[in-house]
Structure 1
Amino acid sequence: MQKTGWKTHCFGRLLVDLPAAATINGKYEMRGAPIEKAPATAQGNAAGYIDGRERELRAQKHTTKGSMFLRRADFAGGSAMLLSWDQPGQEYTWKHDTYLVSGSNVFMRRGLVSPSLADRADEQEGGLARGFSARGSEVPTGTGFCIDGGFIAGNEYWPESFQVHVKLPSHPGASLIISSTTQNQVEPSLLDRTGGIGALLAARPGIGTLRKGKTRDTAIDGEEYLVAGSDDGQRLYTFAWEVPGKAESVAEPNITVELMVLKQNRVGDDNPYRPAFTNDEQALELWDGVVRSVRMRPGSI
């Protein structure tokens, strides 16, 4: 298909091409905790914001331990971790608030930690801080994991994942979901899980399989199952592509791409039906353009 104007995005350790007008909303996790932009009041004011959060925690009262605040660890570049009790009435779980600073940019991640593993949390969060940097829309060249507006250097195996939701203005009602995760064990493949669906679809009028099977024309071999159907004059789609990946592998994670077009509700004169695609061929063209572009970023491992 013609991909004029499409843009290459870095998600995790993957590269994916999407139409220029795509709007993207992503969630990223590293080592069991989400990483996201800190509030706007923290941007350009990392030291003041972190100091303020420490004061807030010191002022909050624990039922038996005095203050909710436990201690602070400072890392290079202005990054820091604040340890506190998770709940005012319990004494067995701590919470870490880690602030990753790069220039005027501040990101944060929050998670729970056992008191017996607190020193390990210092090492873990300090390692993330040392490897963290802010980035724009450019594609990095070094080893590491892309998040929205940031980059975490390294290729050590830890739990890491992302899920991005994509909306396309030229295809109203269509949603793309792209996700990837490392895994401790490999689950049954897409085709194995959906083996019995074909008979169910055959029994329902207006619903059928457009394509099903292994993909060999993609940068990474995977499996796809593409279903379309009609309901009250609306054309609906459920497309799925999956790479099973390998266990405990940063280089070969589980990867999935989904395209969904669900039935539009309240269709009437004031809210007319707007088809996502003019026909099945257009839906398949967009699908192939995205799925065939999914590849590991060179140098990411």
Structure 2
Amino acid sequence: MKPDWKTHAIGRHLVDVPASAQLVETWKYHKDPIELLTPGDNTQFGQLVSQREAQLKAQVQRSGKTSFVERALLLNGSVALVSWYRPYNESDYALETYFRAGKEILRSPGAVTVGKKEKALEFLKRCSDKWREIPDGQIPEGIGFVVGNTILADNIPTYESWHLLIQLAGKPDVTFQVSGFVGAADEGLRKRAGGILASMLGMAAGLSQLRNHARPVGPIQADEILVAGNQNGKRGYGFKWEAPGKDYSLAEPNLNVSLQVRESAYATNRESFSSDDEALELWDTVVNSIRLRAGAV
């Protein structure tokens, strides 16, 4: 790994990023979003859940009953709050789950039909027993889906996804994103690339194609399309790398990396890249680093 870079764990994968970059992450597990809340002890956790429960009890359905249905106790102190999903309809429940992982607190909102509530609570109970806190500065080991400083130590086949926005220091004009989700693209990137070379930069002319080829990374089969163009004296970029993935595979999800420099408030490339070589070096370093974390599945 290059000096002044670090390895970052997200989902079941690892990616190397500049240590100076700010990272913005989002995650979904079993199709429901996961939020990392402010860490806290048992007292703070209890206050958080009780406050939310009181809010739900204060809400009233069109039928006149309270929106709150029940507090379901899970494992390791985790809790699911069950309420009516809509004020005018009582066919679906909202499930708002608060998980504990050491001092970390996670929230996951979801919904389920009335008839599937018990099955959903059993799944949440399973999850609540498998959340673990990751010690600061450590790359987690073993089976699991990484969310910030926590890991859900399970490999049950389900839909999971993650998204990483890499905000580069001193380069506010660059949008750099890496993402993964369980599922497969119908076709590879290059097969469905009709029109993409123009649309990636939002230009109809002035584009040059830097690369358009198969771009495997280790065992990951993928395609790469890189384009660049000049407009009003500014160099723009539209880079994309994609591994199509396999359906239902935690080990081989659909993986995407994209980098863009488009029109903005900046009239020059001072806030992006001084040359194509600089852009390509950064791109290649990140893309070449993507790998499945050992033992993650």
TM-score (norm 1): 0.91
Equivalent position amino acid for 1:297 in 2:
R
> How many percent of aligned residue pairs carry the same amino acid?
33
Per the alignment, do residues 216 and 254 of structure 1 end up closer, same or farther by CA in structure 2, a change over 3 Å counting?
closer
Give the drift of 1:61.
1.5
Structure 1 distance, partners of 2:36, 2:187, is: 35
Which residue is equivalent to 2:283?
Answer: 287
Which residue is equivalent to 1:108?
Answer: 107
Equivalent position amino acid for 1:299 in 2:
G
SS in 2 for 1:255: strand
Which residue is equivalent to 1:19?
Answer: 18
Structure 1 distance, partners of 2:45, 2:198, is: 58
SS in 1 for 2:89: coil
Give the drift of 1:65.
5.4
Give the drift of 1:164.
1.1
Structure 2 distance, partners of 1:212, 1:58, is: 57
Structure 2 distance, partners of 1:171, 1:199, is: 23
Equivalent position amino acid for 2:51 in 1:
G
Give the drift of 1:149.
2.5
Structure 1 distance, partners of 2:153, 2:250, is: 13
Per the alignment, do residues 273 and 222 of structure 1 end up closer, same or farther by CA in structure 2, a change over 3 Å counting?
closer
Matches within 5 A, 1:31-46: 31-38=30-37, 40=38, 43-44=40-41, 45-46=44-45
Give the drift of 1:196.
5.2
Q: Flag structure 2 segments of 5+ consecutive residues without an equivalent.
A: none
Structure 1 distance, partners of 2:171, 2:88, is: 51
Whether 2:63 is the aligned partner of 1:48: answer: no
Per the alignment, do residues 60 and 295 of structure 1 end up closer, same or farther by CA in structure 2, a change over 3 Å counting?
same
Equivalent position amino acid for 2:187 in 1:
P
CA contact (8 A) 1:69 1:83 kept: yes
Structure 1 distance, partners of 2:158, 2:86, is: 27
CA contact (8 A) 2:198 2:205 kept: no
Per the alignment, do residues 219 and 137 of structure 1 end up closer, same or farther by CA in structure 2, a change over 3 Å counting?
farther
Whether 2:234 is the aligned partner of 1:234: answer: yes
Which residue is equivalent to 1:121?
Answer: 120
Cα RMSD between the aligned structures?
Answer: 2.1
Which residue is equivalent to 1:7?
Answer: 6
Structure 2 distance, partners of 1:106, 1:281, is: 43
CA contact (8 A) 1:234 1:275 kept: no
Aligned residues: 292
Deviates more, 1:223-232 or 1:187-196: 187-196
Structure 1 distance, partners of 2:64, 2:105, is: 30
Structure 2 distance, partners of 1:249, 1:50, is: 34
Per the alignment, do residues 50 and 198 of structure 1 end up closer, same or farther by CA in structure 2, a change over 3 Å counting?
closer
Which residue is equivalent to 2:58?
Answer: 59
Structure 1 distance, partners of 2:9, 2:76, is: 24
Give the drift of 1:252.
0.7
Give the drift of 1:273.
5.5
Pairing partner for 1:297 from 290, 293, 296: 293
Deviates more, 1:273-282 or 1:159-168: 273-282
Which residue is equivalent to 1:251?
Answer: 251
Deviates more, 1:291-300 or 1:217-226: 217-226
TM-score (norm 2): 0.92
Give the drift of 1:204.
5.3
Which residue is equivalent to 2:81?
Answer: 82
Structure 1 distance, partners of 2:243, 2:22, is: 24
Per the alignment, do residues 120 and 138 of structure 1 end up closer, same or farther by CA in structure 2, a change over 3 Å counting?
same
Which residue is equivalent to 1:143?
Answer: 143
Equivalent position amino acid for 1:24 in 2:
L
Deviations 1:180-224 (A, max 9, x none): 0002x54211101104556999x9553110011101455522110
